[in-house]
Amino acid sequence: MTSSEQEQLWNGSSGQAWVESQELLDHVLAPFETLLVEAAAARSPRRLLDVGCGTGSTTLAIARRLGASARCTGIDISQPMLALATARAEREGSSAEFVRADAQTHAFEPATVDMIVSRFGVMFFDDPVAAFANLRRASTSNAALRLIAWRSAAENPFMTAAERAAAPLLPELPARNPDGPGQFAFGSSTRVHAILEESGWTSAEVRPIDVECAFPAAQLDAYLTRLGPVGRVVQEADERTRARLMQAIRPAFVPYVHGANVRFVAACWMVSTG
């Protein structure tokens, strides 16, 4: 998927789905937000950049924790998600700022950012080396990275369960490309190291983390019908097709339902420098 396709996606169906699912997704991803808030608090940056900030939860949480001592900025290509992020900041009187731009090409003020964080926002660059080189130019010499990205699809069966279950009904659904922009683009630690080294970030640590995530089982259908490649198809399908897809998909998630909650382990990388 090219950068223009990513732009179209996140300003269209996927961006809108994330806006509609903001509370659910913030709940699911809360453990990762906590990790990044603690990392920022330990570093005490003066200027922090949240790459691929989406609807702004992590940016706002870090700004809340750091207070007036730091300037926190979120950057994303999605207008609908940033509109919600800005509204959330205004509601709570946050000093966090949000910029709609592509971090790969945006003309940042050079050597001003002293910490960059991301909660699943760095895997969608068309040219990740160019993107991280641009972020390196925006950063001070001793700036720190704290990035969370998914490991491989094979290590995250929950994330691909819907696609596997729906495959007989959706033979034309594009296969995931681990080397292209997308959820699992950082699945290989070797590739992550190579991207960072080539773009000027030295001595990176790429550490595996396994994090238990959960959300109410009552919201499982909302999750399945809005998010991911199959969710996009379900949204656009006619009623009969939608019913057939949901009948095929739901059984794949039975192993993850434990009483009133859906639980799964997210296999990720914590990428750190500085």
Task: Please give the Cα distance from 184 to 238 (Å, whole number).
Answer: 29
- How high does pLDDT run on average in the chain? 94
Q: 120 by DSSP, 3-state: which? A: coil
Distances (CA, A) of 150 to 52, 219, 239: 14, 23, 33
Q: Which of 26-30, 108-112, 176-180 has the lowest mean pLDDT?
A: 176-180
Residue 141 and residue 68: Cα distance in Å, rounded? 23
Tell me the C-alpha distance between 219 and 148, whole Å: 25
Q: Using the predicted structure, report yes or no on whether residue 5 has a pLDDT greater than 80.
A: no
pLDDT of residue 77: 95
Predicted local distance difference test score (pLDDT) of residue 179? 79
Per-residue model confidence as pLDDT tens digits over 13-59: 888 889 999 999 999 999 999 999 999 999 999 999 999 999 999 99
What does the DSSP assignment read for 7-37? HHHHTTHHHHHHHHTHHHHHHHTHHHHHHHH
* Percent of residues, the chain, with pLDDT higher than 70: 99
Task: Report residue 76 as tokens.
Answer: 């994303």
Task: Say whether pLDDT at 3 is over 90.
Answer: no
pLDDT band at 1 (very low <50, low <70, confident <90, very high): low
Domain residue spans in the chain? 3-154+177-215+263-273
- pLDDT tens, residue by residue, 140-163: 999 999 999 999 999 999 999 999
Q: Please state whether 204 falls in left (phi above 0), alpha (psi between -120 and 50) or beta.
A: beta
Q: Which CATH superfamily is domain 3-154+177-215+263-273 in?
A: Vaccinia Virus protein VP39 (3.40.50.150)
Instruction: Give the pLDDT mean for 205-230.
Output: 95
Burial 185-212 (b: 16+ CB within 10 A, else e): bbbbbeebeebbeebebeebebeeeebe
